[in-house]
């Protein structure tokens, strides 16, 4: 399964958190974005426990303020 995790960081910490995410296992993509969130992550998860594990690891990063996780139930890929 795929999950998208939207991340808010402390002001000015986007690049630092982005670099830390690039080293995390299970993360397929990470994007710095403008808008309500600072970073969007695409992660591969096998079951609910994996989602909690990866979100927990992200939330433990010092300059991460909040996250929102969306688990994909159906997708169109081209």
Exposure of 45 by Cβ count < 10 A (0-12 exposed, 13-18 middle, 19+ buried)?
A: buried
CA–CA distance, 67 with 72 (Å, rounded to integer): 16
pLDDT in tens, 29-72: 999 999 999 999 999 887 666 567 899 999 999 999 999 999 99
- Please give the radius of gyration of the chain, using alpha carbons only, rounded to the nearest integer: 12
Among 31, 10, 13, 11, CA closest to 22: 31
Q: Which CATH number fits domain 2-71: 3.30.70.920, 3.30.420.40, 3.40.50.1240, 3.40.228.10?
A: 3.30.70.920
How high is the pLDDT of residue 31? 98
Q: How many residues does the structure list for the chain?
A: 78
How high is the pLDDT of residue 49? 65
- Provide the residue ranges of all domains of the chain, joining segments of one domain with +: 2-71
Q: Is the pTM of this model over 0.85?
A: yes
């Amino acid at each position: 399964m795929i999950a998208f995790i939207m991340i808010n960081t402390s002001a000015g910490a986007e690049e630092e958190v982005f670099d830390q995410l690039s080293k995390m296992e299970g993360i397929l993509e990470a994007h710095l974005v403008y808008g309500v969130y600072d970073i969007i992550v695409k992660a591969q998860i096998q079951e609910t426990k994996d989602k909690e594990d990866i979100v927990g690891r992200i939330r433990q990063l010092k300059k991460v303020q909040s996250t929102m996780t969306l688990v994909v139930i159906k997708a169109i890929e081209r």
